[in-house]
Structure 1
Amino acid sequence: MSESTDPLAALIAEPLRALPQRWRIPEREAELGHVRGFGTADEYWEWAASRQRWMRPWERLRTGGLPDFTYFDGGLINVADNCVDRWAEDPVTRDRAAVVWEGEPGDTRTLSYGELAVEVSALAAGLRELGVSRGDVVAIYMPNLVEAFTTIQACNRIGAVYTVLFAGFGEQAVGSRLAAAGASVVVVADASYRRGNRVELLATLRAARSRAPSVRATVVVDRTGDDTALTGGEHRYADLLTSGAAGCDAVALDPNEPAFLIFTSGTESIPKGVVHSVGGFLVGTWANAYWQAGRQDGDVYWVAADVGWLTFPIQAVVGGLACGMTIACFEGALDTPSTSRFYEICARHRVTKVLMAPTVARMLRKFGDDLAAAHPVALSLITMQGEPLDADTFAWTTRTFDVPVVNAYGQTETGSTWTYPVAGVEALKAGSVGTAVPGHDWVVVDDDGVEVPPGVKGNLVLTAPFPTLARTVWGDHQRYLDTYFGRFPGRYATHDEAVVDHDGHLWVLGRADDVINVAAHRISTMEIEAVVTAHPAVVEAAVVGVPDPTKGTVPIAFVTLGPGAGPGDVAAEVGRRVVAELGGYARLDRVHVTTALPKTRTGKIMRRLLRDLVVHGEPTGDTSAMEDRSALDATAAVVRG
């Protein structure tokens, strides 16, 4: 294959785009230059930690290296004190809105930092009266509600370990995670609203309780106003606020104590409860939100993600509040009751900055330019993460909203996004995740652990610790060591493939197990997807590899189309484009045109389910995180013909 048709070269050939002057933030540029001038990562983290309020200063910034390390030894700190109290005590920020919330039916609620502090303190005292003490696990099973903020910060206040369960989980998924966590208390909404439907969360929890004998009490948030009758061991959220009205002090905690655990997928084995620390997560997520969102006076930052996705605690509940930001929060689906809901929320709450998955941008693009033009919004930044961002979606979003689009990369285990172009400062490249922010060291290596040169893809590894990196797997430290440090000892394996371009920008190509081998040629499915999504009629696409008796593996594309596109013509054109741009070895075995693709509530396409449909005729793994079953059914019908 000639150099001009090298798929990787084509993917990373995007030009470096300097920020227009109207997007620049000069004071942020000077500050970033200052911290990039630090000689070591530890100096940077010392600077970040100094921006927090400590109950006792640390004596040693860091001890040890990968995989076992600690930060801020000897210090004492409290997350809720930094995220809530410090702003509530300041007369300048006391009345600033902390959370601006909207439910799917259209109901709204706003809490100032002063009001948030009162409710968090009362709830913390109420949880204590239920017997929750330092180190106990409290599970949170609800959608994006104000009570998710208050419960997380109440746990932070008293040193309880919290875990958030995705509101779309069913009985088995909820029960298995409660059991794995050893949760003692669950805070649950009686129900939630999604796509116009009522989702019965309390009923699901009651059914799951038999799988989790450690749960001794349930706290019920009356989301619907139905005043649901409670059974033994169940308590009303409002009653806890009343009984704890006197409040309680924030507990001084060791910064290396566990703050919360978040479960990775349980598709293939027992779910892993990844553990993040008190001080490390606070300091790291403050820095993450500070640089990625670039807080400015008057900002309203909408984190358009689900509270069950780690992005929400990072950017909203912990990182965002630690920066003193006003966080917008929405309960429901962004296309309900109409396709204009996204724009209406932005206008109604005067949103200035939005975080979303690329899927959301592709959805807005599918709804059309006319809709966007009819609903002008005053945004200054859009930042994306969670899945690869294709160049066409980047270009459409930049052009439509006239804002910089910051593409970021991180993982559940890293506890923050750690590589992206810093908001208001750094140059952009469509599809890349920029360069690493201070305090993070990484390298791309081959399968033997040897660094590869620019333009050559390999395995992305992190070479030094940083505060938000997960410390262990709950109850199974050996699993933590084996999973993340077994392949490249002394370095954290992301299990993602990546390439560095000649401008020093990083491109994450996707999971290493999404790299397919077609007749001895290795290619990332992302590279093929980039060609497929470049077709003007294709709104979104997913490419998966499936077994083939001759070639070993062949790629299959699933696509959704814009209005008026002819499915047969587009499928044929997409197939020809892939061959023309990538070569015959990447030829698509099939192109399935469907009306929708199965996704998680956070907008990630569930590619493993697509693979299952082709290989097995039905899903074989966990489907509990799926947003809309009808999308899977529609795709299955297309596959079955």
Structure 2
Amino acid sequence: MSESDPLAQLIANPLRPLPERWTVAGRVAELERARAFATADDYWAWVAEQQRWMQPWETVRSGELPDFRYFEGGLLNVADNCVDRWAEDPATAYRAAVVWEGEPGDTRTLTYTELADEVSRLAKGLLELGVRKGDVVGVYMPNLVEAFTTIHACNRIGAIYTVLFSGFGEEAVASRLQAARASVVVVADAIYRRTKRIELLQTLRAARDRAPSVRATIVVDRTGDAPPLQENEFGYADVLEKGTGGTPAVPLDPNEPSFLIFTSGTESTPKGVVHSVGGFLLGTWANAYWQAGYEPGDVYWVAADVGWLTFPIQAVVGGLACGMTIACFEGALDTPTPARFYEICERHHVTKVLAAPTVARMLRKFGDDLAAAHPLGLKLITMQGEPLDADTFDWTTDTFDAPVVNAYGQTETGSTWTYPVYGAEGLRAGSVGTAVPGHEWAILDDEGEPCAAGVKGNLVLTAPFPTLARTVWDDHDRYLSTYFAQFPGRYATHDEAVLDHDGHLWVLGRADDVINVAAHRISTMEIEAVVTAHPAVVEAAVIGVPDATKGTVPIAFVTLGGDATDGIELDISRRVVAELGGYARLEKVYVTGAMPKTRTGKTMRRLLRDLVVHGEPTGDTSAMEDRSALDTVARVVRAGA
């Protein structure tokens, strides 16, 4: 690869060694010991030893991809490990487990002792309603304390939970409850989002006719003004009361299903990815341990929605399994003012933050003066969910004087598995570091042959690990065909990646987002890196659209800062050509005031493509936070047609 190659330029960002103030004592030696295990199974055995087992396991692993099992013969319980063991320890019993704030400003804090009590009572209340091991419980609410208690009440009795994004409408709720065969739903009467009251119970009632398996609804009175209960509806407080005295945690096989999470996309049928009891617990404990690393006095704010698997990974399961204090916020990070993010950090003494890169771009858009007015003293900012461009990395690092850990994983992997370990490893803007212990991977060409360093290809995982999804709910053939048909015996991420010459991994985006312009292949991340480097650009999304002559051409959507000037579209296009070459020339640059995003801040690029190609969305829009953003982009596209 020549130095003038755009990919070579992208991965040439220098490695930043950690300054002494960002290192954590003993962390390097600990990581070296973890990497020194002879096999991945030896490492996962060490992870298992950090948990509390009700019955010892006999074998670490049996089987290979795609059929594998972990810790057979052993029994454990997720709620016991995440809640009970901390509540029983005098040193941690009165440590805050969850520090919650609602969008209107109301707050609530639960210690591990208080959390254990409420989880146990709710678990018994579920049993009183007829919920049994293996039954599915829907969780239809945003980031509330009751999301934590409901998930762990299910974990306690072996019920299978599925979290429904609180932005879902009637059709999306009905289809997922029907597909899951849910028997009970726990729902907030209403929630607050961007100062508006959103009626979840009303939506659920409208959806229930199409989900006949639902026999009971538990209503959390979030607003203090819940409507009268109807037949087969029960108040959350009443269910707690009926559960007085609690119920013991049930010993479970670590390979049993723990929960299912529905992925959204262009498919008409929701795909319920299933994660296991012990696999998810062990993998998320390790994930939170290496990515965030609990230190005394920490308050870890996972600024994501409970409907995004990152929240269960880092907060509800992984974070609590590490004994951390988790900050949790109900609303929008810019409501009622752009200072809300900073105010939450200050009010709750937050030390570490996890967010999508879009959050950092939003803060950057709000300006350096606002950041300077709120010096936070954060020890860590970690990001995942979408590519992190170098400019955003640099701004975040410099503004907060904290390490920015860029991590990569998927809903199906159940955790992020490659990133620079907090407090131990250097940082490289745009890179997702190196794989953490226990994970084996490769980059392959389309024929399944390994790619050399500097050559992009298909990212695959080559060996099992505990948090990898075990199946698709009610459709194992779909699991096999989706993830293992392309490269038999290896899990296909369907992402493109490249390994740089220092051994750092760069994930370039979905393989189907790679743009093939007149036989030249280039990833959207490569073009976006150039576009976002323009001083006037705050955020960019690049997509490929069909072209009769070239096959595919790139189009950019950008939002601009306050110093934008006339002719910015031409200026951006010229910059792309100058830095990447004529084959990467942008066919169009659309300047828009908003981008369609999920509630957790991911830009929905496939909707942008739909607007350009079809004039309207053709896939699932249920995960979108603000429909008006899509309308804004649609007007821009129509005006530029």
- Once the two structures are TM-superposed, the CA of residue 290 in structure 1 deviates from its matched residue by 0.3
- Once the two structures are TM-superposed, the CA of residue 478 in structure 1 deviates from its matched residue by 0.8
Distance in 1 between residues matched to 2:623 and 2:275, nearest whole Å: 22
Distance in 1 between residues matched to 2:330 and 2:372, nearest whole Å: 25
Alignment of 1:169-248 (within 5 A): 169-248=168-247
Q: Percent identity?
A: 79
- Once the two structures are TM-superposed, the CA of residue 571 in structure 1 deviates from its matched residue by 1.1
* Residue of 598, 620, 623 corresponding to 2:621: 623
Please list every run of 5 or more consecutive structure 2 residues that lacks an aligned counterpart in the other structure.
none
- Once the two structures are TM-superposed, the CA of residue 396 in structure 1 deviates from its matched residue by 0.2
Distance in 2 between residues matched to 1:320 and 1:29, nearest whole Å: 21
* Alignment pair present for 1:379 and 2:401: no
Alignment of 1:442-591 (within 5 A): 442-566=441-565, 568-591=566-589
Partner amino acid, structure 2, of 1:600:
T
Match in the other structure for 2:409: 410
Match in the other structure for 1:340: 339
Match in the other structure for 2:595: 597
Match in the other structure for 2:325: 326
Deviations 1:502-561 (A, max 9, x none): 010000000000001111111111111110000011000000111111111111000000
Number of residue-to-residue matches in the alignment: 639
Match in the other structure for 2:151: 152
Match in the other structure for 2:52: 53
- Once the two structures are TM-superposed, the CA of residue 132 in structure 1 deviates from its matched residue by 0.2
Alignment of 1:261-300 (within 5 A): 261-300=260-299
Match in the other structure for 1:75: 74
Deviating more after overlay: 512-521 vs 495-504 = 512-521
Distance in 2 between residues matched to 1:407 and 1:346, nearest whole Å: 20
SS in 1 for 2:478: helix
Distance in 1 between residues matched to 2:154 and 2:113, nearest whole Å: 18
Maintained 8 Å contact 1:286/1:318? yes
Deviations 1:570-624 (A, max 9, x none): 2111100100011101100000001011100010001111111111111111111
Match in the other structure for 2:20: 21
Deviations 1:379-432 (A, max 9, x none): 000000000000000000000000000000000000000000000000110010
SS in 2 for 1:259: strand
Distance in 2 between residues matched to 1:216 and 1:51, nearest whole Å: 39
Maintained 8 Å contact 1:190/1:224? yes
SS in 1 for 2:535: coil
Partner amino acid, structure 2, of 1:113:
Y
Deviations 1:48-107 (A, max 9, x none): 000000000001110101000000000000000000000000011000000000000000
Match in the other structure for 1:608: 606
Distance in 2 between residues matched to 1:54 and 1:622, nearest whole Å: 41
* Residue of 622, 629, 632 corresponding to 2:630: 632
Deviating more after overlay: 467-476 vs 516-525 = 516-525
Match in the other structure for 1:131: 130
Distance in 1 between residues matched to 2:65 and 2:620, nearest whole Å: 32
Deviating more after overlay: 618-627 vs 320-329 = 618-627
Distance in 2 between residues matched to 1:301 and 1:51, nearest whole Å: 21
Deviating more after overlay: 285-294 vs 21-30 = 21-30
Match in the other structure for 2:425: 426
- Once the two structures are TM-superposed, the CA of residue 266 in structure 1 deviates from its matched residue by 4.6
Distance in 1 between residues matched to 2:206 and 2:324, nearest whole Å: 38
Distance in 1 between residues matched to 2:412 and 2:452, nearest whole Å: 26
Distance in 2 between residues matched to 1:607 and 1:629, nearest whole Å: 14
Distance in 2 between residues matched to 1:111 and 1:26, nearest whole Å: 30
Kindly report structure 1 stretches of 4+ aligned residues shifted beyond 6 Å.
Answer: none
Q: Aligned-pair RMSD on alpha carbons? A: 0.8
Deviations 1:443-480 (A, max 9, x none): 00000110011000000000000000000001111110
Partner amino acid, structure 2, of 1:576:
R
* Alignment pair present for 1:87 and 2:96: no
Maintained 8 Å contact 1:5/1:583? no
Deviations 1:242-273 (A, max 9, x none): 00011000000001000000001152231110
Maintained 8 Å contact 1:266/1:272? no
Match in the other structure for 1:390: 389
Partner amino acid, structure 1, of 2:361:
R
SS in 2 for 1:275: strand
Partner amino acid, structure 1, of 2:381:
I
Distance in 1 between residues matched to 2:318 and 2:102, nearest whole Å: 23
Distance in 2 between residues matched to 1:580 and 1:266, nearest whole Å: 35
Distance in 1 between residues matched to 2:274 and 2:637, nearest whole Å: 39
- Once the two structures are TM-superposed, the CA of residue 440 in structure 1 deviates from its matched residue by 0.1
* Alignment pair present for 1:306 and 2:305: yes
- Once the two structures are TM-superposed, the CA of residue 227 in structure 1 deviates from its matched residue by 3.2
Distance in 2 between residues matched to 1:601 and 1:391, nearest whole Å: 23
Maintained 8 Å contact 1:350/1:378? no
- Once the two structures are TM-superposed, the CA of residue 211 in structure 1 deviates from its matched residue by 1.3
Distance in 2 between residues matched to 1:145 and 1:151, nearest whole Å: 10
Distance in 1 between residues matched to 2:239 and 2:40, nearest whole Å: 43
Distance in 1 between residues matched to 2:260 and 2:293, nearest whole Å: 27
Distance in 1 between residues matched to 2:567 and 2:300, nearest whole Å: 42
Maintained 8 Å contact 1:293/1:423? yes
- Once the two structures are TM-superposed, the CA of residue 564 in structure 1 deviates from its matched residue by 3.0
Distance in 1 between residues matched to 2:200 and 2:585, nearest whole Å: 45
Partner amino acid, structure 1, of 2:357:
P
Distance in 2 between residues matched to 1:267 and 1:187, nearest whole Å: 28
* Alignment pair present for 1:35 and 2:34: yes
SS in 1 for 2:224: coil
Distance in 2 between residues matched to 1:165 and 1:7, nearest whole Å: 41
Deviations 1:326-384 (A, max 9, x none): 00000000000000000000000000000000000000000000000011112000000
Distance in 2 between residues matched to 1:40 and 1:3, nearest whole Å: 36
Distance in 2 between residues matched to 1:227 and 1:364, nearest whole Å: 35
SS in 1 for 2:521: strand
- Once the two structures are TM-superposed, the CA of residue 299 in structure 1 deviates from its matched residue by 0.3
* Alignment pair present for 1:349 and 2:357: no
Partner amino acid, structure 2, of 1:58:
W
Distance in 2 between residues matched to 1:275 and 1:616, nearest whole Å: 33
